[in-house]
Structure 1
Amino acid sequence: MKDLEKNWDLLITRLEKQFDYDITLKGVLYLIGLQELNMPEKSFSKEEKVDVLHIATCKILSSFGYYRFNGVDEDGWPHYEEVRAIKNLSEIDQEKLIKEGIIKYIS
C-alpha cells in the first residue's frame, strides 16, 4: 500500500509539472478518457464529460477483469460491459484499484 501511494504521488507530481495545473484523481481519469476517446477537438457537454470519466474508469478496470470492451459506436464512443461488480468493493478499495490501474496505464 505504501508503494501505491508513493507511486501515485510521483505520478501526480509528474502530471502537475507537465500540465502546470493541480490535478486530482478525476482529472487523471478525464485525461485517460480523452486519450481513449481520441476526440481532441470536441467540446463536451456536462453529460458527455461524465461519459468521458466512465470510459476511463472502464478502460482502467478492464485490466482487472471488471469490464470488457464491446466496441465503438457510430459516433466513435467506446462501450464496455460490466463483467464483475466493482460495487462489491468498498469505496477505499475501489479508489486503490483505480489508482493502481492508472499507474499501470500511464507507466
Structure 2
Amino acid sequence: MENNLESDWNRLLYKISEDFNVDADLNGTLLLIGIQERGIGFKEEYSKDDKMDHINLATCMLLSRWNYYEKTGYDENNWPIFKKNKMVPPFSKEKEEQLLKSSIVEYFKKNEYLETQHTK
C-alpha cells in the first residue's frame, strides 16, 4: 500500500509541476487545495499569512475525511468554519506526512485531477 501511495504521490507532484509550471511539494499541494476550497479563484501573489490561511484550510478539509474536523458553515468573509470532532493524535512527523499525502492523493482523485491507477 505504501508503494502505491508513493507512486500516486510522485505522479501527482509531476502532474502539478507540469500543469502549473512549479516545483510541487507538500505545502504547495496544500496551498492549491486551500485555494480550490476557498472558491474565489487563483491570484498571482499571496502574502505569507494568506498562504498559511489556505494551507490551514486545506489541512482541516483533508482531516475532515478522517472525522477530525467537520465543516459547519462559513464566516462573514466566506471562509469555511470547521468544528473539531476529536483531537488529532500526536503523530510522528513521518506518520503525519503519510496521512496528509494519502488524503491529498485521494482529494485529487475524487476531484478527477489524478486518475486512479489499476493494478493487475
Amino acid at match of 1:6: S
Amino acid at match of 1:26: N
Matched, 1:24 2:36: no
Structure ranking higher in helix proportion:
1
Q: Give the Cα separation in 1 of the matches to 2:32 and 2:12.
A: 13
**Displacement after TM superposition at 1:87 (Å):** 4.2
TM-score by length of 2: 0.81
Matched, 1:6 2:12: no
- Please tell me whether the aligned partners of residues 35 and 42 of structure 2 are also in contact (alpha carbons under 8 angstroms): no
Counterpart of 1:101 in structure 2 is 103
Decide which of 85, 91, 94 is 1:92's aligned counterpart. 94
Compare 65-74 and 45-54 and name the one that shifted more: 45-54
**Displacement after TM superposition at 1:15 (Å):** 0.9
**Displacement after TM superposition at 1:70 (Å):** 1.8
Larger radius of gyration, structure 1 or 2?
A: 2
TM-score by length of 1: 0.90
Counterpart of 1:37 in structure 2 is 38
Compare 37-46 and 86-95 and name the one that shifted more: 37-46
- Please tell me whether the aligned partners of residues 86 and 94 of structure 1 are also in contact (alpha carbons under 8 angstroms): no
Decide which of 55, 61, 65 is 1:63's aligned counterpart. 65
Percent of pairs with identical residues: 35
Q: Give the Cα separation in 2 of the matches to 1:53 and 1:9.
A: 20
Gapped runs of 5+ residues in structure 2? 110-120
Q: Give the Cα separation in 2 of the matches to 1:79 and 1:35.
A: 15
Gapped runs of 5+ residues in structure 1? none
Matched, 1:74 2:86: no
Aligned Cα RMSD in Å? 1.5
